[in-house]
Amino acid sequence: MKWLRYAIPLALAFMLMLAVRTLVVSIHHVSGDGLAPLYKSGDCLLINRCSYGLRIEGNGLLPYSRLMRQPVKKGDIVAFSAPDGSIEGLMIARCKAVPGDTIRTQNGSMMVPGLINCATSDHYWLEAINQKNPVDSRHLGFIPERHIIGRVVTVLYNRKNIRLQ
């Protein structure tokens, strides 16, 4: 029974680590140059999943909601998933328009104020820095808040710069 003395704290530590990883922070590897030169392909980003409130997904059992909800601010760089599920994984983009803004696009770039109303209470216009990036609001339309995972905090490291010895 001596092993039980070590197994219980290890199991609790593992469960705590999973809770933090799921609810508080996550790590995302950048693939592609949609946010170049700010973030490059191979960068490992730390994402604060609680920056806009604690997400409650529900997965069909409960309705989607956020506890202690905070709005996304213009200029925030956020991680999000595609609204229609057509693209796998997380995407990274900068918030250019928030609910209440009106926008118009011209030759692929967005201008505020404009003609299209972004006034619905939970939709945002997100754009990548690189104009050729196919995964942002210019191609997906307005992104609902429920698809915004969190705010990018920092670059932890770049996988391409790490050399194995």
Architecture of domain 2-156: Ribbon (2.10)
Q: Which two tokens stand for residue 36?
A: 């170049």
Which positions ≥6 away from 60 have C-beta within 8 Å? Answer: none
Residue 97 CA to residue 99 CA, distance in Å, equals 7
Nearest CA to 80 out of 152, 156, 163 is that of 152
% of the chain exceeding 70 in pLDDT: 73
Nearest CA to 128 out of 31, 51, 53 is that of 31
Q: What does the pLDDT look like over 106-125, one tens digit per residue?
A: 665 565 555 556 556 688 88
Count other Cβ atoms within 10 Å, centred on residue 93.
27
1 vs 134, higher pLDDT? 1
* Domain ranges within the chain, ordered by starting residue: 2-156
Per-residue confidence (pLDDT) for residue 93, from 0 to 100? 87
49 vs 59, higher pLDDT? 49
pLDDT for residue 89 is more than 80: no
Q: Quick one: average pLDDT of 139-148?
A: 84
Per-residue confidence (pLDDT) for residue 76, from 0 to 100? 92
Cis geometry, peptide bond prior to residue 134 (ω within 30 degrees of 0)? no
CA atoms within 13 A on the CB side of 145: 22
Q: In what order do the strands lie in the sheet with 91-97?
A: 25-29, 43-48, 148-158, 77-80, 91-97, 123-127, 143-144
Q: Which two tokens stand for residue 62?
A: 């409960």
pLDDT for residue 157 is more than 60: yes
